[in-house]
Structure 1
Amino acid sequence: MTTESTKPRVYFNPLRPVTVISAPSPEPLTFHQKLPGYAVTPLIHAPRLAAALGVRDAWVKDEANRLGLPAYKILGASWAVYRELATLFGPFTPWTTLDELAAQLQAHLPLTLVTATDGNHGRAVARTARWLGLGAHILVPEDMVPARIRAIEDEEGQVDVVHGSYDDAVRAAARLADDQHLVISDTAWDGYTRVPGWVVEGYGTIFQEIDGQLAALGARQPDVVAAQMGVGSLAMSVVQHFRAPGRRSHVVGVEPIRAACVLNSLNAGALTEVPGPHLSIMAGLNCGNTSPLAWPYLKGGLSASVAISDARAEEAVRLLAQDGVTSGESGAAGAGGLLELLAGEFASQGRGALGVTSESSLLVISTEGVTDPEAYARILHGQG
């Protein structure tokens, strides 16, 4: 039986979503192109997903292999680390390789990068630290699955398990900041907004790539873009890009029912915490607090917000697999949100509010590949 704690919920913005005043900077893309193994990730035409959503085109930006890691987070982490190091120790002389950049940091060692994570962001910070010859200290919540902890340790990061939720790990990481420990968080708090802002900027590479890919295919800009929401940083980047001047895409935010901090905040009209534990399989989205940096963009720029069940996310994992996209539980959440909003119990209201028809074009970002192989195998075989 469906209970209040597991019932999908939706919020429709009663006002016309705002247009962001200025478009994001192109500088992160130039930076990312200098990193080892940079390549444009695939933009996949997904006919099975389109059919399930009742639209003409569904596009999936597949982030299952981004700079050698199974998630998009390295884009934000690497750019934020670079900008923070440049602010503290720069300006750097021109460099071509990371070895040349690392050599300019030698006089400032030892330095350790510190962050809290549900998995992918921490691994990305640890990878960036390893590239630059820095230490990495990663704090994780107590419900982190072993496979994700091992992945961080494989990047030579020191992992400490914090008793409590992701939000408890964020607070613990913040307390470690000093002259030799730089906190690289993807969420903001009072007095700490510079680094999270650079994380959001780094994600902009995804959308610059998408613009180029759609143009090369002769395809139009999407009518609706779905964005997963944990603390809201990715969704903020989506709003900055697709609500920039001259753009008219609707942006839909998606989060787990048991960690719907953005949706609860939208309903309340102010930032609202969702106390833990946050038990969704969408581990990368298990956050109880919205980033105050992202909040104004989400409040003004989202056309709708939807909180989905684990079952809906699992359905999306299987559906994306039919279109050739290997997506983890958090990675598939955007597609799951559109299934809930456009083909589920909210379909009539959702399609009307977003102007979705059989001729519409939709975009989802599959933000991760498989980060928990056992869970993926279970879901793919319909045993969720």
Structure 2
Amino acid sequence: MKRYELKNKISISESTMAGVLHTSHIYFNPKVLSFEMSPTANILEFHQKLPFYVPTRLVEAPFVAKRLGVRHVWVKDESSRFGLPAYKILGASWATYRELETRFGPFQPWSNLDELREQLKDLDITLVTATDGNHGRAVARMARWLGLKAHVFVPDDMVHARREAIKNEGAQIEIVNGTYDDAITKLTRIGGDKYLVISDTAWEGYERVPTWIVEGYGTIFREIDEQLRTLEAEQPHLVAVQMGVGSLAASVVRHYRSPNRTTHILGVEPTHAACVLRSLEADELKEVPGPHISIMAGLNCGKPSPLAWPLLRNGLSGSVAVDDSFAEEAMRLLAQDEVISGESGAAGLAGLLAVLTERNEADTMRQKLGIDQNSTVLIISTEGATDPQAYVRIVGSMPNI
């Protein structure tokens, strides 16, 4: 193994396992804080009104636990959320509702979407967003549920299956020549009373909707708390969460870095799109120029959300950037525990594999993350097989779940 020491507790390692070169880059945060959060509305109650709501399953993963050398690993499996193969609908639905209510409300009390849609029937509104895949499909689904139109900007390298999934929700797709960040640039230029921009990243003058998206993801952790209580299981000592623009990770920080919790949080990004890690190193927002080439397509973002940044800067215990081989290994390992996880979905575990199993300094890494052989770890598998051909190529087959 080659190892290079840099400043600010950063390390880069390269190791060969089964003939495959794995690379990763790690940063440990010297100033992790807790956060006092203002109470928010009962978002879980809102989600329970949506069609076919059920909590997604919390899976105990003994094969993963053995590989990581811990007592328990729990996987929150977001491969089927309201019939969609990813968690994004939680943030998109709440943010869309709140923005509609702000612009056109207040609404009369409603108990299901039919009653809400009736109140919106005279609106000529298009929901507009930019996406690497899952968020755009979620916004399109919300538009379809509410009888509205949807327009989605996508980067030109998005795989065919994800484009078609968005089109099948009834949305109009506009392909942008460039990266996800180029699609966001297009989105920032949209204006007019007939458009509602539903973005999960913020920019100057646009923070309200991304705030609600972060809030919407909180349903995941409300469900996990209840599921662990039912199982009489302890809260996690460590949560591994994928980054992207940082909205999901911000929601993790909001929940697990409150004053009454001591949970460590590890953020995970692709090597070529490690915008959060680079920002943490510099202690200020930094951009990683594209192209962002990784099979973890949902995480191929060059700029962290400015809204999420304060929570990430002070709430993450550490951040790791990993190459695709770790994500592929994580997908195969999760399949052994009967979890279908796509490339971005498996990224949290990919980061843990890089930090805990690929280094001579594993004991030091564990100390920094506050875990040992008796610890409990939580992974959020944020998507299922959103690119089925790639899944079969990497894993070999679909598990029979």
TM range (shorter): over 0.9
Determine the structure 1 residue equivalent to 2:18. none
Equivalent residue in structure 1 for 2:127, among 102, 109, 113 = 113
| Partner-residue secondary structure (3-state), 1:306 | strand
Deviations 1:273-316 (A, max 9, x none): 00000010000000000000000000000001000110000000
Equivalent residue in structure 1 for 2:100, among 67, 75, 85 = 85
Mapped to 1, the partners of 2:333 and 2:216 lie a distance apart of 29
Mapped to 1, the partners of 2:363 and 2:286 lie a distance apart of 28
| Partner-residue secondary structure (3-state), 1:8 | strand
| Partner-residue secondary structure (3-state), 1:307 | strand
Determine the structure 1 residue equivalent to 2:216. 202
Determine the structure 2 residue equivalent to 1:316. 330
CA 1:27–1:362 in 2, change beyond 3 Å: closer, same or farther? same
Mapped to 2, the partners of 1:13 and 1:376 lie a distance apart of 34
Determine the structure 2 residue equivalent to 1:352. 367
TM-score, reference length from structure 2: 0.92
Measure how far apart 1:4 and its partner are. Answer: 9.4
Q: How does 1:14-93 map to 2 (within 5 A)?
A: 14-15=30-31, 17-22=32-37, 25=40, 27-93=42-108
Task: Flag the structure with higher helix content.
Answer: 1
Q: How does 1:1-384 map to 2 (within 5 A)?
A: 7-15=23-31, 17-22=32-37, 25=40, 27-107=42-122, 109-345=123-359, 347-381=362-396
- Aligned 8 A contact 1:24 1:241 in 2: no
Measure how far apart 1:347 and its partner are. Answer: 2.0
| Partner-residue secondary structure (3-state), 2:217 | helix
- Aligned 8 A contact 1:10 1:304 in 2: yes
Deviations 1:158-212 (A, max 9, x none): 0010000000001101212210011000000011000000000000000000000
Measure how far apart 1:356 and its partner are. Answer: 1.3
- Aligned 8 A contact 1:22 1:245 in 2: no
Mapped to 1, the partners of 2:193 and 2:83 lie a distance apart of 30
Measure how far apart 1:26 and its partner are. Answer: 5.0
5+ residue gaps, structure 2: 3-11, 15-21
5+ residue gaps, structure 1: none
Mapped to 2, the partners of 1:36 and 1:274 lie a distance apart of 39
Mapped to 2, the partners of 1:347 and 1:143 lie a distance apart of 36
Mapped to 2, the partners of 1:333 and 1:171 lie a distance apart of 26
Measure how far apart 1:245 and its partner are. Answer: 2.4
- Aligned 8 A contact 1:24 1:204 in 2: no
Measure how far apart 1:7 and its partner are. Answer: 3.2
- Aligned 8 A contact 1:23 1:241 in 2: no
Measure how far apart 1:343 and its partner are. Answer: 1.4
Measure how far apart 1:341 and its partner are. Answer: 1.1
Measure how far apart 1:25 and its partner are. Answer: 2.5
| Partner-residue secondary structure (3-state), 2:363 | helix
- Aligned 8 A contact 2:240 2:266 in 1: yes
Mapped to 2, the partners of 1:147 and 1:347 lie a distance apart of 38
- Aligned 8 A contact 1:62 1:365 in 2: yes
Deviations 1:85-105 (A, max 9, x none): 000011100011211111111
What is the CA RMSD across the aligned residues, in angstroms? 1.6
Mapped to 2, the partners of 1:305 and 1:60 lie a distance apart of 19
TM-score, reference length from structure 1: 0.96
Deviations 1:85-131 (A, max 9, x none): 00001110001121111111123x21000000000000000000000
- Aligned 8 A contact 2:203 2:305 in 1: yes
Higher mean C-alpha displacement, 5-14 vs 282-291: 5-14
Mapped to 1, the partners of 2:57 and 2:371 lie a distance apart of 25
Mapped to 2, the partners of 1:376 and 1:177 lie a distance apart of 38
Q: What amino acid sits opposite 1:12 in the alignment?
A: F
Measure how far apart 1:24 and its partner are. Answer: 5.4
Aligned residues: 380
- Segments of 4+ in structure 1 off by > 4 A? 1-6
Higher mean C-alpha displacement, 353-362 vs 119-128: 353-362
Q: What amino acid sits opposite 1:43 in the alignment?
A: L
Mapped to 1, the partners of 2:345 and 2:13 lie a distance apart of 25
